[in-house]
Structures are given as structure tokens and as C-alpha cells.
Amino acid sequence: MLAKKQLTLKLFFPLLLLVFLSGCWDKIELEDIALVTAIGLDKGSIPGRVDVTLQIMNAQKAMISQGNATDKEPDHINITLRNTTPVLVKDQANAVITRRINISQVQAFLIGEELAREEDLYNVIAAMIRDPEMRRETPVIITKERAETFIDRNRPKFETLIYAFYRFKFNRWKETGDVPLSSVNDYLRAHADQAPYLFIYATTERKKTKAKGKGDDTTAGHMEIEGGDPVEMIGAALVKEGKMIGTLTGEETRFALLLAQNLRIATYYLAFPDPDDKPWMISTRLKNETPPTIEVDLKGKRPRITVTVPLYVEVLSIPSGVDYVADITLQKKLAQYLEQTMQRKFADLVEKAQHTWKADIFNWYRFVRSRFLTWQAYEAYDFPKRFPEADVSIRVQLQMVDFGKQMRPQDKLPPFKKENR
């Protein structure tokens, strides 16, 4: 019996070895791959084809103690393949790249505005995602210039390795909402729902603009900022039915996200002209701790949508010196003013969405859905068609929380002295 066992063992090990040696088709060695950080897509000169740009990182630059061996090598290189399709790129690129192209760590897809406006974006992205290495959660950015140019010019000052740029940038936007965090998965979801979708909008073409003092109420490339990294990323590109049809400013983007309940707890700064002393601006911090309530009424001929936006306001600075802190009536006036201003801004945006773009950028169809019991009924109602004629009323419920960390606008006298006087 033992001899039999020994025999099986003797047979077993070569077999095991055979299995182990015969495997390894999918094996890759780390030093043998070229990691792609970003993929850019542009309109090709042949219709239906795209120009694909790959941004490839130099792994050796990640080491601190490499000495002079890699000093002459660049941090990353970009290659552009013209008139191709995204699926073919990985193999074609090896004509000029030594290593196996790996796209599992892609940080962002960049799509030129030209392509987004003229070709069907859905087809492009759906073709992209076919590769199993591609990830659905990858962020998508629409660039004002060609993505190729964008990638080429995007040399952040601090980040030696370019992947950090995308990562840090997105983390920051998560909190402010100046930019929608658009991902492939979300876009595919919205497209299937026949809903428009907001993409991140960015550019490296930074121009001086005529309109002054607009703050973040501008689109990428028009901010009044000097210096910094070459990339300016603010606002959103609106894509409807696979085509880009417009842009939203940073502020509009934020409001759109807020009204869609997509801006979770966010804090952002807004400045308003002082109602009492116009040239001065009141800086406030707005918080939407509780999301807006969205009520949908489909009984009438036109859908009625009532949105109540609770906002918590902290007034941070009052350079005009009007004493809003102590004076209740002035405070009420300020609150009312802020409320009206916000309401007007929201209304403007809704107006634009309903009539200029004719697109439900607030994703209110999601709230309409729960009014129906079956999918057939929902489809028959066809909300995307009815959205432009919907009755939308937006109410802002403003609550003054406090006046920042300082007691008085001028911060000269503590209040108890005033009482003594």
C-alpha cells in the first residue's frame, strides 16, 4: 500500500510541475509594462475614426534614490495614434513603445470638444469600455482644445508623476462641486435613461476675459487667475443624446448638482453684492447638509416639480461695515436678499435647461420614476419629452447659522462694551 502511495506521489509531482510550467499565459513582469495614465480621444481626419493619445509614465521616476541613471529620461511621454479605434491602440502603440501597454491604471479619459460635439460620444465610450482592462469608474474629462494638445501641455508644476494630478484634482472637486465628477459608468447609466449628462470641462487655453468679477460663474479658460498649473478645470460640458450641446459655468454646475441631489454634504463659498452697500461683496459659506426635497406631481397636463432647497448660510465677512450681526431687521433683510438671489439663480438655470438645452440636467426623471408602479407606465409617460414644459418651482429655505468665527463685522469692540456704553 505504501509502495502504491509512493508511486502516486511520484506521478503527482511531475504532473503538478507540468501544470505549473504550462500556465503563465497571462503573466506579466512589472518592469515589462508601460503604465498609461490618461487616454485622450480626438476626432480623426477620417470620419468614424478617432485619434488616440496615450500618456505613459516613467516608473523609474517614482524612485527617490535612483541617482543619475534616469535623470535624462522624461517623466512621461505622450504618443498619438491617428485615425484608429480605441480597441486597436494597445497593440499598435508598440510600434513606438518598447513595453507592453497596460491601461488598468488609467486615471482619466480625455475627450476633445470637437469630437464630443460632432461624433456620437456614446459609441466612442462604449467602444472604449469593451476592453476588459478598462474600468467603468474611470473619470471622463471633456477638453476645450484637442485632448492631444491638452495632454501635451498638461505639465503640473508640483507633480512629477502625472497620475497624482488627476487624483488630487478629483478629490478636491468632490467637496466643492464646481465640477461634476463624471465617470464612464455614470455616463452609460444616464445615456440608457435618455438623460443628459454633465462632464468635467477643462482646458489649457487660459485667456483674459472681458467679463470681470464673475468668480466661478465662468467656464474653463475664462477664470481671472494668473499663474498656477497650465490646466484650468471648472464647469461642465453638457452632453445630450451622445452629443455635446453646451457648457455650464462652475456655479451652474454646482447648482445643477445640488438640485439633482447629487452634491452630498458640501460646503462652498459664495459672494453676493451687499444689499445695503452695493459695491461691497458679502462672502458667505453655504452648506447643504440636508439634500433638497423634490416633489413631483404628474396629475396635471404638465408635470409639476417643486424643489425645496434648505441652505445653511454662514456670513463670513461684511466689508461694507453694515452691522448685520446685531440688528435683527437688517439680518432679516439680508436673509431675504440672499434667498431671493439664490432663487433667481436657480430659476435662471432651470429656465436655461428647459428652453435653451431642453435637457433634464437635474436628473429629475429619477424622482418621476418612483411615481409609477411598472416600467411600461413610466415609459409611456415619457418624461424626457415632457421636461421642457414642466412647471418647476424652486423654493430656497435659508437659515442663517452664524457669522463666522468673528463677533462683529469690523471686529473692533467686543459686544459687552457696547452694552455698557
Partner 1 sequence: MKRTPTNDQDLYRTHNPSTNDKIGFRELIAIDFFLLGVKGTDTTVPFFYEFAGNAAWLMPLFIFLFILPFVLLVSRLLARFEGKNLLIISEHLIGRPLTYLAAWVLFLLGMAATVLNTRSYTQMTGIMFYGRTPLIFLYAVILLATAYVAYRGLETIGRVASLLLPYALFSIVLAFLGVYDIIDYRAIFPLFGQGWSVLPKTVTHLGFVVDIFYFALFAGLLKSGSRTYQNATLIGTAMAGIGAMGLIFMYTGVFGYPAVNQVLFHYQQLTRIAHYGQFINHIEAAFLGTWILATVVHFAIYIYTMVYLLHYLVRAKDMFRLFVPIVAAIFFAGLYPYRSEKLFFTYREWIVWALTATVYPYLLLLVLLSRTKGGKKRARKKTAYT
Partner 2 sequence: MRWMRLNMKNQLVMHHEKLAREHTQKEMMHLKTPLPRRLNQTVQLIKERFYANKNADFQTRFTSYGRRRAYLIYLQGTVEQALVEHAILAPLNHPLPRRRRIHPGIDARLSSLNIKPLKTIETVSDHLLNGYPVLVIDGERTAYAFSMSAFPSRQIGKPDNENVLKGPHEAFTEDIEKNSALIRRYVRTPKLIHEMHTLGRQQKTSISLFYIEGVINPALVDNIKKRLDAIDRLDYDQIANIEQFIEERPYSLLPSMLTTERPDRVAAHLLEGHIAIMQDNFPYAYIAPATYWTLFHTPEDHYARLPYAWFSRGVRTIAFFLTLLTPAAYVAVTNYHLEMIPIALLMAIAGTREMVPFPVILEILLMEFSFELIREASIRIPSQIGPTIGIVGAIILGQAAVQANIVSPIMVIVVAITGLASYAHPDLSFGFAIRIARFFFIAAAATLGFLGIALLLAAALAYAVSFKSFGVGYFTPWAPYVPSSHDVFLRKPLPNETVMPLSNMPVQKTKANRKRYLSLDKSDPWRKRRRWHP
Binding site residues, partner 1, CB under 8 A: 19, 22-23, 25-26, 104-105, 126, 132, 135-137, 167, 171, 185-186, 188-193, 366-367, 369-370, 372-378
Report the site for partner 2 in 131-150 (rule: CB under 8 A): 133
* Type of residue found at 213: G
Q: How far apart are CA 109 and CA 199, in angstroms?
A: 11
The single residue among 3, 24, 95, 328 that binds partner 2, judged by CB under 8 A, is: 24
Q: Which residue has the cell 481671472?
A: 224
Q: Which amino acid is at 269?
A: Y
Amino acid at 96: V
Identify which of residues 221 and 303 has a Cβ nearer to partner 1 in the complex: 303
How many angstroms separate the CA atoms of 248 and 144, rounded? Answer: 13
Q: Does 23 bind partner 2 (CB under 8 A)?
A: yes
Of 60 and 290, the one with the shorter C-beta distance to partner 2 is 60
Distance of CA 113 to the CA centre of its chain: 15
Nearest to 106 by CA among 62, 52, 63, 146: 52
DSSP string, 224-259: ---SS-S-EEEEEEEEETTEEEEEE-HHHHHHHHHH
- Out of 78, 83, 85, 102, name the contact with partner 2 by CB under 8 A: 102
Cα angle 417, 324, 286 (rounded to 5 degrees) comes to 125
Residues sharing a CB contact under 8 Å with residue 223, sequence separation 6 or more, in sequence order? 206, 216, 232, 234
Query: For partner 1, which is the closer residue by CB, 193 or 276?
Result: 193
Min. distance of Cβ 181 from partner 1 in angstroms?
10
By CB atoms closer than 10 A (0-12, 13-18, 19+), residue 65 is exposed
String marking each residue 243-282 x if it binds partner 2 according to CB under 8 A: ----------------------------------------
Amino acid residing at 309: V
Of the two residues 366 and 408, which places its CB atom closer to partner 1 in the complex?
366
Which residue number, 19 or 95, has a Cβ lying nearer to partner 2? Answer: 19
Residue 68 vs 376, nearer CB to partner 1: 376
Q: Which of residues 156-215 bind partner 2 (CB under 8 A)?
A: 161, 163-164, 167
Q: Is 30 in the site for partner 2 (CB under 8 A)?
A: yes
Question: What is the grid cell recorded at 212?
Answer: 470681470
| By CB under 8 A, residue 104 contacts partner 2 | yes
CB 182 within 8 A of CB 198: yes
As given in the structure block, the three cell numbers for residue 195 are: 438623460
CB of 264 to partner 2, least distance (A): 24
5 part of the interface to partner 2, by CB under 8 A: yes
Binding site for partner 2 (CB under 8 A): 2, 5-6, 9, 16, 19-20, 22-24, 26-31, 33, 35, 57, 59-63, 66, 102, 104-105, 107, 133, 161, 163-164, 167
